[in-house]
Amino acid sequence: MSRKLFGTDGIRGTANQEPVTAETALAIAKATGREFVRGDYRHTVVIGKDTRLSGYMLESALMAGFISVGMDVVLLGPVPTPAVGMLTRSMRADLGVMISASHNPYQDNGIKIFGPDGYKLSDEVERAIEARINSGDAKLAPAHQLGRAERLEGAFGRYIEFVKSSFPRGLRLDGMKVVVDCANGAAYRVAPKVLYELGAEVVPVGVYPDGFNINQRCGATEPGRMQEAVVTHGADFGIALDGDADRAILADEKGNVVDGDQVMALIARSWQESGRLAGGAIVATVMSNLALERYLTGIGLDLIRTPVGDRYVVERMRSGGYNVGGEQSGHIVLSDFATTGDGLIAALQILAVVVQSDRPASKVTQLFDPFPQLLRNVRFNGGAPLEDEAVQAAIRAGEERLGAGGRLVIRKSGTEPLIRVMAEGEDDALVEEVVAEICDIIEARAGDKPAKLRRAGSAGAE
């Protein structure tokens, strides 16, 4: 059975419209709870959220659903997604749930579910949950076995200490001025505090959430505000997190963007030199630049590619025993520390290299020049545009034009009604022509309105 509710990163959509309604959240909680009630003991689920207004609605519905099948609920309040994964394991909970639509605007929301090991659920388990929902198989607990709910007031404090422990022992950020843009999202309290406690002078941006301004002209998807603040304040480094802080786009002291590909390359080299890198390779998606692959080959490392989505990166890391992986868009997974992408931990690893090198970030973080790469998103009205014969013919023609020195990646977004068209190669003009031609065909056959083009190294979503 295919999954209909779950996409590449949980369940996501417009708040108060299917599938992101209170009714569906209640059904999801009951079905998921029943799937994980596996013994005669008190079962527990921890629930975190970002700062969207709709989080209150979904939090209450999920809480009621889990309690109704006999699970105790621990409410974490606004915390980053990786904090939910960490606390699920730390507290020996049976489940963790994050209410967030990540980089999407406030109108959207979503539900991400973690198993007792702190990792996101597999496709197989998600299918089993959907089967329970479809069959109505969510046996309610008798009155004496109903769950209870409590709020863990110190959740963000636990996460702060966890993140600080990832920074090399004995190293400090004293003398460093760091801009951190929290996107008015889940990290608005924890990120500035972590940096301050490690010794940095902190310039906070996007730390006044109001339920509506998450990711609004700020954060990892629009890092310009962070870049401008770095230059204005004469900072040494910049960090732009997304709404749930599972990814980050960085900037050097000149305000130049450091994207996920550069971050993975620098961590891979650093960990290789210290003997810490596992498996002689890193894991990245098909969106990562060819220049990253060539750089890694040059230092004796392999690049293993997966479909887009940090869950697929994590699955390949776990199956192959690798400890560094991620996405160009800034999801960096360092399994020595976390079970999912963690923007703050990734930023600290780069800051550690900068401090230890005693050089400006601009001299440390740009390890290679990316190939010309262009991504364009085409919104569509429904159906299956990629199965259209004219679209398929345009794709084949584009692949032939790019040849062996380029790549073409075309896929349907797992979180929005978009077709993402990405091409890269050594000839910038050819890349632009190929993308334009394919997008024109898609728009003519199934399009709504085109989104803007995105160059390699920018912060668009994967």
CB neighbours (10 Å) of residue 278?
Answer: 15
Q: Which of 100, 102, 166, 288 is catalytic?
A: 102
- Which amino acid, one-letter code, is at 9? D
DSSP codes joined into one string, 95-150? EEEEE--TTS-TTEEEEEEE-TTSSBPPHHHHHHHHHHHHHT--PPPPGGG---EE
Q: How far apart are CA 323 and CA 301, in angstroms?
A: 13
Q: How far apart are CA 205 and CA 207, in angstroms?
A: 6
Place of tokens 């980053």: 80
- Cβ contact 149:67 at 8 Å: yes
Q: Output the six-digit token pair for 385.
A: 């545009």
- Cβ contact 99:58 at 8 Å: yes
- Cβ contact 221:461 at 8 Å: yes
- Cβ contact 280:303 at 8 Å: no
Q: How far apart are CA 346 and CA 361, in angstroms?
A: 15
Q: How far apart are CA 132 and CA 6, in angstroms?
A: 14
Q: How far apart are CA 352 and CA 336, in angstroms?
A: 16
Nearest to 462 by CA among 349, 341, 363: 341
Q: What is the DSSP letter of 17?
A: B
Q: How far apart are CA 32 and CA 331, in angstroms?
A: 26
Nearest to 88 by CA among 43, 24, 28: 43
Q: How far apart are CA 144 and CA 4, in angstroms?
A: 34
- Cβ contact 130:3 at 8 Å: yes
Q: Is 102 a catalytic residue?
A: yes
Q: How far apart are CA 268 and CA 333, in angstroms?
A: 12
- Cβ contact 114:97 at 8 Å: yes
Instruction: Cite the active site residues.
Output: 102
